[in-house]
Amino acid sequence: MATLLYNNLPARRPARPFNTVFNELLRETLPTATEPAASFVPSTDVLESKDGYELVLAVPGVAKDSLSLDVEEGKLTIKGERKVPVAAEGDENAPRFRRVETSYGTFTRSFRLPDTVNAKAIVADLTDGLLRVQLPFDTDKVTKHHIEVR
């Protein structure tokens, strides 16, 4: 007769083996793309500090010269493109996509700016695949004023 071990404390049960098996089953059944998509949406984080807001867009592989930031009527629009790596045409030995998990193509993200943001002082910086857009507060609109009654 074999001894069966049973853990009646679910918080202490090892969940990793089941998750690993489940993930392997799903991985084989999910459809895979063999051609890159024409567009994508970069992940964006919005942070707020005492000086203003900061947008952080994950755009690895996007060149600085393919980015465009415009402010019009209180709306910030960020456009860009991540180019698909292409092989020389006619080269039979060139690598081809077998599975595509990276997003390629163009993207556009728009953000409505609050009235407290100084649109003329917006600064953008692209470093290590992260586009950081600083949206400083307009000190004239944000500063609290006390009005005395006469």
pLDDT digits (tens, 9 = 90+) for 99-140: 888 888 999 999 999 988 999 999 999 999 999 999 999 887
How many Cα atoms sit within 13 Å of 136 on the Cβ side? 11
Q: Which pTM does this prediction carry?
A: 0.69
Whether the CB-CB separation of 74 and 112 falls below 8 Å is answered with yes
Q: What is the pLDDT of residue 36?
A: 76
- Phi and psi, residue 135, nearest 5°: -115, 85
Whether the CB-CB separation of 77 and 110 falls below 8 Å is answered with yes
Tokens, residue 95? 């690598």
Q: What is the pLDDT of residue 4?
A: 57
Q: What is the pLDDT of residue 92?
A: 76
pLDDT digits (tens, 9 = 90+) for 5-40: 555 555 555 555 666 766 666 665 556 677 777 888
Q: What is the pLDDT of residue 24?
A: 65
**Which of 14-18, 66-70, 84-88 reaches the highest mean pLDDT?**
66-70
Averaged pLDDT, 35-57: 91
Of the candidate ranges 11-25, 46-60, 71-85, 98-112, the one whose mean pLDDT is the lowest: 11-25
CA of residue 127 relative to chain centroid, distance:
14
DSSP one-letter code for 76: E
> What residue has token string 């049960």?
13
Q: What is the pLDDT of residue 124?
A: 96
> What residue has token string 């407290």?
116
Residue 44 and residue 54: Cα distance in Å, rounded? 10
Whether the CB-CB separation of 36 and 84 falls below 8 Å is answered with yes
